[in-house]
């Protein structure tokens, strides 16, 4: 299959229209929740269905009380362009990715730079389950029980210097195991970033699991960012580098198409994507935009002060 650069991809390939025009794929995903099996499950590695349980996870009071989606729904309908542009590609191809051992480089304007083994970076006693709403720019949404730690705790440990105003993240680049990286669908490796106050906010986490189990590869194993008030592409997966920088870092989708994907990428129903409305959303398992989009994905009370005085149509 020939893949194109992100700026050339039609809306039918990356937006809710894909749900309606490629109904078969979406039906497979929806059926997973009801039937307990995905139509293509026979093609998947057993490892993706039998993730190791994570012991000693505490429940976080920051969780939403909404019902979560199912394991099958959350792990079988994903955006992870490193494995392909179709929603089923990550689950289909991610089994070949080797995630152990794993090292994360921490560098830049920081007092304690190092190449950290994942087990040294994420302390098991800090792990919490946080049930967050998750909203994709393509207008589909889900409720997911993440297992992770506060990014702020890690930042405090490595001691950023005074000039560090942003935190930049980089995804693994390993095209031998990530077939999407053998295409020009995006500039690789995938990069993302947050302003320091966003990174330090209590809602921002580094996740290593879902549903009390280790992250499946297709969901960003072994470590990913989760920023619940922003569109999903900000929550970068399979992180190998965390850099502390003075200036706003480049981000992959902004590089691909700056007119459509801004640095902030906050969920805002009053700011439409240039090619579709963001006022309503489709929950996984449904076929229609039957839910109104909430400002900051429902986290306005917690995060709106971060953007006081900013024009959120200009800083989209």
Give this prediction's pTM: 0.86
Higher pLDDT, 288 or 255: 255
**18-307: CATH architecture:** Alpha-Beta Complex (3.90)
Q: What is the pLDDT of residue 54?
A: 94
Q: Give the 3-state secondary structure of residue 311.
A: coil
Mean pLDDT of the chain: 87
The whole-angstrom distance between residue 80's C-alpha and the CA centroid of its chain comes to 9
Per residue in 37-63, pLDDT tens?
Answer: 333 333 344 444 569 999 999 999 999
Per residue in 105-153, pLDDT tens?
Answer: 999 999 999 999 999 999 888 999 999 999 999 999 999 999 999 999 9
Does position 27 have pLDDT exceeding 50, yes or no? no
Lowest mean pLDDT among 24-28, 80-84, 239-243: 24-28
Cα–Cα distance for residue pair 193/152, rounded to 1 Å: 14
Cis peptide before 104 (omega within 30 of 0): no
Q: What is the pLDDT of residue 50?
A: 67
Long-range contacts of residues 302-305, Cβ cutoff 8 Å, at least 24 apart: 302/201, 302/202, 302/203, 302/229, 303/201, 303/203, 303/229
Q: What is the pLDDT of residue 191?
A: 98
Nearest to 116 by CA among 240, 276, 13: 240
Does position 76 have pLDDT exceeding 70, yes or no? yes
Does position 170 have pLDDT exceeding 80, yes or no? yes
Per residue in 194-215, pLDDT tens?
Answer: 999 999 999 999 999 999 999 9
Q: What is the DSSP string of 72-137?
A: HHHHHS---GGG-SSTTHHHHHGGG---SS-EEEEEESBSS-EEEEHHHHS-GGG-EEEEEEEE-T
Compute the average pLDDT of residues 242-249: 98
Query: What six digits make up the tokens of 244?
Result: 């502390």
Q: Which residues pair with 140 in a beta bridge?
A: 282
Higher pLDDT, 2 or 240: 240
Nearest to 122 by CA among 136, 137, 134, 104: 104
């Amino acid at each position: 299959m020939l893949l194109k650069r992100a700026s050339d991809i039609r809306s039918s390939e990356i937006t809710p229209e894909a749900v309606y025009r490629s109904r078969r794929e979406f039906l497979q995903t929806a059926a997973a929740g009801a039937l307990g099996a995905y139509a293509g499950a026979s093609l998947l590695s057993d490892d993706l269905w039998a993730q190791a349980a994570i012991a000693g996870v505490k429940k976080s009071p920051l969780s939403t009380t909404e019902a979560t989606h199912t394991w099958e729904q959350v792990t079988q309908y994903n955006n992870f362009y490193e494995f392909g542009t179709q929603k089923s590609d990550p689950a289909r191809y991610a089994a070949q990715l080797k995630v152990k051992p794993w090292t994360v480089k921490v560098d830049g304007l920081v007092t304690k730079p190092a190449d950290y083994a994942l087990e040294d970076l994420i302390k098991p006693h800090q792990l919490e389950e946080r049930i967050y709403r998750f909203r994709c720019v393509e207008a589909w949404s889900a409720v997911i029980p993440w297992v992770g730690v506060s990014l702020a705790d890690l930042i405090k440990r490595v001691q950023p210097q005074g000039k560090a105003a942003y935190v930049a993240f980089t995804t693994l680049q390993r095209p031998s195991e990530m077939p999407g990286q053998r295409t020009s669908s995006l500039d690789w490796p995938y990069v993302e970033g947050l302003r320091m106050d966003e990174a330090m906010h209590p809602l921002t986490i580094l996740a290593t699991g879902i549903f009390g189990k280790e992250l499946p590869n297709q969901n960003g194993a072994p470590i990913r960012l989760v920023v619940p008030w922003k569109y999903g592409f900000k929550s970068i997966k399979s992180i190998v580098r965390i850099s502390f920088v003075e200036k706003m870092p480049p981000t992959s989708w902004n590089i691909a198409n700056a007119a459509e994907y801004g640095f902030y990428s906050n969920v805002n129903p009053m700011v439409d994507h240039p090619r579709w409305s963001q006022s309503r959303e489709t929950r996984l398992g449904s076929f229609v935009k039957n839910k109104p989009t909430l400002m900051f994905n429902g986290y306005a009370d917690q995060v709106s002060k971060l953007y006081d005085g900013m024009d959120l149509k200009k800083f989209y």
